Every structure is written in structure tokens, then in C-alpha cells.
A and B are shown apart, each in its own frame.
Chain A
Amino acid sequence: MDFIQDGFVQAFSLLRNGDAATYSAISTTLRSSGLAMAASLLLGIPLGYLLGYFDFRFKKQIRIIVDTLLSLPTVFIGLVIYALLTRNGPLGQAGLLFSIPGIAIGQMLLSLPIVIALTATAVEAADRNLRLTLMSLGANRRQVAATTLWEVRLGILAAAVTATGRVLTEVGISLMVGGNIKWHTRTITTAIALETSKGEFGMGIALGLVLLLIALTVNISLAGLRRRI
């Protein structure tokens, strides 16, 4: 069990001594998940709002599909994206296989259903009495819509936190689409998988702690944002 202690010691020395490979993995992780989160929030918030706010045919069925997609296995996403991005595949010309944007596309697919489902739930929960109250207070249409969006901001923030957690920690997509190439597409999670397979458990635990530290930083800043809004 020495390697658990080793892991703590190594985690600090990796970060303090500026270990180049570790910082490269950190930067790859942040870049791919940053891109993925930006894209999935941009697309997911309006889609979730549509799904939660309006009534239309097949709404229930679409909701069930979105909820099912919450269980998309990352290795399956990885395989599908690989099949799309391989040079002979439909999107092969783009040259995105084994690249950070390639990983980001897969991770976006992972986080999009989370953002949509949680935004829709937040909108649904807020909608019922809010609209009536606002209208009875004499608010106009635009004010009603804007206020509804404002009221669900914490729900959207929760969606962002949940999706970020999923994207930061996934390994299947990064491994299959990124190829775990040292200095380029090796993320923290694929590095952990590699170190573990090499029997370097201490190093693997150190990298796991580094990832947790990043998650802590992200959540502290989001909590700060939450207090301010």
C-alpha cells in the first residue's frame, strides 16, 4: 500500500517541480474539455430551454431519448467518433483523428445530453407558477422570457458543473480518438491508464490527485460565480 503515500508525495513534487509531461497532460485535458464545454453549453442551453419551455408533439419521446443519451458509454462515443474521423471515414478529410479538437468533439457528444436534460429540467421546474405570477404583475412577453432564463441560472450552472465533471474525467474518448500520444494528446486520464498498465501505481495516483485538484479549482471558481449571481 506504499504507493498511496507515494502518490501524495509524487503529486506535490510533480506540480512543484513543473514536470513537463504532467503539465502537458494538464494542458491537453484543459484544452479538450474547455472546447467541449464551450460548444456543449452554446448548443445545449438553447436546446434544453426549447425542450423545457415549449409544448410540442413528441416532446415526451424526445425527452426520453435525451435522458437515454445520458448513459452513452464513453468507449462507444470513442468508437463512433473514430469511425467518423478515420481517413477513409465520412469526415476523414478534416484530419481530426488523434488531435485535441477530435477529442473535444467526442466529449461534446458526452456532455451535450447532460446540459440539455438538466437545463430542460430546471426550466420545467421554474416555469409553472413563475409565468403566471409575472404576467399578473404586468410583465411583458420579453420580460417573462428573460426572467425565466434568469431564474433558472442556478440550474444551468448545475448542468455545467455536472457536465464538466464528466468531461474532465472520461478516458474512453480520449484514448480512442486521441491515441494517447505523449506531448500531444495524452490527457491526465489516459496517462493514469498508461501508468497503471506499466505498474507505476504511485505515478498513477499522483496524476489522479492532480486531476482532483483541477476539479476542485474549477468548482471553487464556479461556487464563487454562484454567490455573485
Chain B
Amino acid sequence: MGKDMEKKEALRNIVSFLIFSITLVSAGVVSMPQDCNGSPDGETLLMATTTSTDNTGLLDYLMPAFTDQTGVDIRWISTGTGKALKLGENCDVDVLLVHAPQAEKAFVDKGFGTERREIMYNDFVLIGPAENPAGIRGNKISEALQAIRSSQNIFVSRGDESGTHKMERTLWSSADVPTPEQEPWYRQSGQGMLATIHVAGELKGYTLTDRGTYIKYESSAEGKPALIVLLEGDAMLLNQYSIIPVDPKHCPKVKYQKAEILSNWLAGDEAQRLIGAFKLLGKQLFNPNASR
């Protein structure tokens, strides 16, 4: 019987220790947000944006000036436009800086965002190996995609519902080519733009990219990029970036006023000038075009 007693007492000790631990841990979790160690709550504006604005270094260049001039602290998460829109819909961010006009309009129409404001643009370019195995010429993107398809040369797609991926699918369908999916030459990387360019470089494939990210790639390749621009200038290849505050009617906790401050600031003279002055390799990455 002594053994049973011993076990009961040990059990009691352990259970009380466990209750103590659970109390301590949950107290810790509850008190954590207040000490704002990396917590985005409070005064910080949280933005979801695309990999192209972040990877190029535009935001690291632009946002300190924004915080200086307005006193608003900002943090951002860079991901594909598809996920950025989802984060807005789920009320996890306050504002979006994205580039997929159709999806953005739908986002605003569904009541998730207040107003879509165009900030800047650049263009998409088709890049590929210098040997150009598919023989791409001219500036008609639809002909180029048909040529890639008939040559069966590797084409690397973002495959992640990003703005670039949405644009790429629009281009396939406007070229009257069924959007490839499982074709052996069609590879979906599922990664950000710069990562996808590197994948295409390794595979000697073609890919579609925004010009800003390509210039960033070109500048880090130190004069010997594996991929070069093979097609540019088609009117279809316009790449418009817009800012959308998340609607406080949909997400009551969202920092709408701060989002508006950012939207106004980005459309203002100073930010527009800064965007136009942002260069890598002496080339301009984004063209400001906010309507005043």
C-alpha cells in the first residue's frame, strides 16, 4: 500500500507543479504583446507588399523618409500580390502596395479596401538565355509566347498567384495558347521574383519579370547575368503599382488613418520625386505616375 501512497503524493506534486507552469506560461503569453518586442500592435502601420518593391530595395530607400516626414512607423511583409490581398482580407495588415489591377478592383468592390490609388509603374520584360533558343524577336509578347511553346524550351513561372503570375496567365490566354500547367517545359517555382529569375538562370529558361527586379538581378550579377532582356515594349506589358488602405468597415481594428497618411504621402510630390530618382546601374526602376 506504501507504493500507492507514494505514487499519489508524487502525482499531487507533479500536478501542482504543472498547474504552476501553465499559469506562468499563459501569464507570459498574455503579458507579451504589451512589451511590444516585435509585436506590430500599437502605433505601427503594417503593410503587405510584393517581392518586387522589397527585393529591389525601393522600400528600404523610401520608407525612412516617410517615417521622418510623417512620424508614422511602418513595417512591411513582402509576398506575392495574391497573398498580400489575402492578408488584407483577413485584416492582418493595414495597407497594401500591390500590382494586379483586376484583382485589386475586385478587392475594393468586395468592400475589403477603401480606395485604390495608382502610385507608379514599370513594365514587364521577357528574359531568357542570350542564345535565345526559341528565336524570340520583335516586341509582340503573344508571338514570343507561341514561339516558346513550339520550341518547348523551359519557361519558369512564378506559380504563386502573384501579380506577375496573374499577368503571365493573362498573356498566355491573350496569345491564344492554353495556359500551360503540366507541360514538361513549364516549371512553376512557387517563389518570389528574384528567386524565380535565379531558377530560370540555372535552367537556361525564359521567364517574365518586372523590370525593377530584373535590374536588381542584373546589378548583383556584376556584369555577367545569365539571362538578358529579349522582349520589351509591348503595350500589354504595363505593370501598374497601386496602394489600397484596408477598409475599416470590414476590419474595425485596422489603422486606417495612418494608411491614408501613407497613401497621400506616396502620391505627393516628395515621394514621387524620390521614386523617380531610385536607380540601380544608372537605370530607373519605377516611374512615378500618381494622379494629383
Contact = CB atoms under 8 A, between A and B. Distances in A.
A144 B2 CA distance: 12
B9 interface: yes
Given A53-B10, A87-B251, A179-B77, A42 B33 contact: no
Interface in A176-229: 178-185, 196-200
Contacts of A14: none
A199 B220 contact: yes
Contacts of B17: 46
A58 B146 CA distance: 63
B224 interface: no
What is the interface residue range for chain A against chain B? 35 or more
A197 B217 CA distance: 11
B32 interface: yes
B39 A101 contact: yes
B185 to A, nearest CB: 23
Interface residues of B, number: 47
A200 B91 CA distance: 33
B39 A95 contact: yes
A46 B9 contact: no
B33 to A, nearest CB: 5
B130 interface: no
A93 B158 CA distance: 34
A42 B21 contact: yes
A178 B92 CA distance: 12
Contact of B18 (A46, A99, A183): A46
A61 interface: no
A200 B37 CA distance: 28
Interface string A19-33: 000000000100100
Nearest to B192: A197
B6 A96 contact: no
B77 A98 contact: yes
Nearest to A108: B25
Interface string A85-101: 01110001011111111
B238 interface: no
Given A98-B77, A184-B40, A54 B11 contact: yes
A158 interface: no
A50 interface: yes
A220 B16 CA distance: 33
B40 A99 contact: yes
B220 A145 contact: no
Contacts of A38: 28
Given A86-B91, A95-B33, A181-B76, A100 B38 contact: yes
B55 A198 contact: yes
Interface of A: 28, 31, 35, 38-39, 42-43, 46-47, 49-50, 53-54, 86-88, 92, 94-102, 104-105, 108, 135, 141-142, 144-145, 178-185, 196-200
